[in-house]
Structure 1
Amino acid sequence: MGRRRKGRDISGILLLNKPAGRTSNSAMVVCRAIYNAAKAGHTGALDPLATGVLPVCFGEATKFSQFLLDADKAYRSRFIFGQNTDTADADGEVVSEADASQLTKEALEAAIDTFRGDIEQVPPMYSALKKDGRPLYELARKGIEVERAPRPVTIRRFELESFRPGALAEAVVEVHCSKGTYIRSLAVDLGEVFACGGHVAELHRIKAGPFDESGTVTMDTLQALRDVEDFDGLDALLIPVERALEHIPALHLVESCAYYLRLGQAVFVANAPTEGTVTLFDEHGQFMGIGEILDDGRVKPRRLIANM
């Protein structure tokens, strides 16, 4: 018999504005403690230096975190040209310097244009990707560098918002991209174009999937509510998990279909799509979970909310 988790049995998504200096995992652990939640997980790591939108899933919402992990992201970042660091961001040690005075706004915009669309990107050594079961950052901290295969990513939008020339030139950019994109690698690769080096000085995630920074809350706000034990106020900040899945076609089921799907059986549903993934809602409009369309047109339950 499995051991029962301690904590409150709550479900939903918290949009945290992650502070700088924390890993995504440590921020999630603090949120879980503040909420006294039985189960929690985050939906895609941000570097310790980074701030911004970090969806934290509680309870049943953790079953659907992959859909946020796979979603597009958007960032605002400040790049420094004229220096390379060992981590490709301002948290690292400077390993090389070169005068970036020759860099102009026009030249940078032209270079940025070549990074839009489908590109291949070499992940940085300081990343959570694994080599023979070990995270690359562990090897990097020991001074070990290994070959990394380029990975396909999509840069949907890459705009230069401001530019300050100089020996250490600065650029503020906004990037909308597919999952798995490393903004640090964009800074490094642009630095290589101009043979001056580059790294990320600041990084702020402004959007993750359907969620933008306008709906985020700070850890200070959460802690203030916890200090007065206002759990109703904390719970009111949670977003229903179906909000993260609004891009997926929805099926509203009659009672009999909902009944058999809850038993794990595939059913025929009128006017269902002919293929792909669907969200499932019962006859009362309550979210049930995720289903998929089989080759014969039936809807099969893929991941359902428990205790319905």
Structure 2
Amino acid sequence: MSKTKWRSVDGIVLLNKPIGLSSNQALQRVRRLYRAAKAGHTGALDPLATGMLPLCLGEGTKFSQFLLDADKRYITCIQLGKRTTTGDREGDVLTDEPIPILTDDELELVLNRFRGEIEQIPPMYSALKHEGKPLYEYARQGIVIERKRRTVTISNLTLVSRTEDTLTLDIQCTKGTYIRTIGEDIGEALGCGAHLHSLHRVSSAGYSPEGMLSLEEFESIAEQGEAELDTYLMTMDTAVAHLDKVELPPQDTIEMLFGRSAVNATSLDNGTLVRLYDGSNKRFLGLGVIKGVFIRPHRLVNTSELVNN
């Protein structure tokens, strides 16, 4: 079997992660199709979960933290009446209790407790680490680690549909929110317990779900050649599109390329992060930070070919 010859490829692609694969397994599948020398994902989805998984390739990995920190939107189905060991359908059933009969108005009163700023205790079956090991490794050994409460914000929680024993919810939330925990906590608030039946991430960091491709679609495109595959790469500055844009004049572009500060011609506040572009060819240079009368380099992309020219 020939060894993969990796190449330099920069940008971001949106994978519609299939059920059954870990985020890293899915990442490696796409990485091999691109033969990308460097790649990383931006916020793990459990094997049970599907949906948007932004993948950063090459220099795009320098901006993955901004995608990790961004808001996410999910569609989830919660199974009422049963608590499980893992908080989802893959765990063993711990309790099976009758489900209360509630009107839509009564249910809304319960759901309203989970809107806005709420506190959560991260689940044991999570990738959160304790002493270098994911919590789920302790959980599989029957070890319970004390976890600190964390504050998250649920900017939207809408009841999409309901049956006698399920609730389908549309949830938009800040980073670090555990939808599994929301499901369990809603079950506790209803007095019958609950677990997550399914989870689909609709969007992340404002990326449109229409831009997602499945693994099968990526594989089909790859059969047409890498040039065709590369047309599906989004530019890496889409990860920081929420930041103010600054176009540098030629001399300041040169200063920035050599890691030196440029003149601050903006009216932005001190400490503001900005997207930097070469004003001549509109090329994305990376990020700078406003420091008084200067814009200092913060996180620049590799522009060695421009420097050498």
TM interval, shorter chain, is: over 0.9
Structure 2 match to 1:211? 207
Q: In 2, are the aligned partners of 1:187 and 1:198 still within 8 Å (CA)?
A: yes
Structure 1 match to 2:115? 116
Shift of 1:6: 4.3
Alpha-carbon deviations, 1:130-156, whole Å to 9, x = none?
122221000000111121111010100
Kindly report which structure 2 residues correspond to 1:1-308, keeping only aligned pairs within 5 A, or say none. Answer: 6-165=5-164, 169-226=165-222, 228-275=223-270, 276-283=272-279, 284-294=281-291, 296-306=292-302, 307=304, 308=306
Alpha-carbon deviations, 1:198-254, whole Å to 9, x = none?
11111110110020211100100111223x352112111110011221110010110
- Counterpart Cα distance in 2 of 1:272 and 1:281: 17
Q: Which amino acid aligns with 1:293?
A: I
Q: In 1, are the aligned partners of 2:264 and 2:290 still within 8 Å (CA)?
A: no
CA change 1:289–1:141 in 2 (3 A) is same
Of all paired residues, the percent bearing the same amino acid is 42
Q: Which amino acid aligns with 2:48?
A: L
How does the TM-score come out when normalised to structure 2? Answer: 0.94
- Counterpart Cα distance in 1 of 2:141 and 2:10: 40
- Counterpart Cα distance in 2 of 1:186 and 1:250: 37
Alpha-carbon deviations, 1:151-181, whole Å to 9, x = none?
010100001011112xxx1011000000000
How much is the aligned-residue C-alpha RMSD, in angstroms? Answer: 1.3
- Counterpart Cα distance in 2 of 1:202 and 1:179: 19
How does the TM-score come out when normalised to structure 1? Answer: 0.94
- Counterpart Cα distance in 2 of 1:254 and 1:36: 35
Matched residue SS, 2:114 = coil
Q: Which amino acid aligns with 1:300?
A: R
Q: In 2, are the aligned partners of 1:84 and 1:95 still within 8 Å (CA)?
A: yes
Shift of 1:95: 1.5
Equivalenced residues, count: 299
Alpha-carbon deviations, 1:93-121, whole Å to 9, x = none?
21111111434433221111111111111
Structure 1 alignment gaps of length 5 or more: none
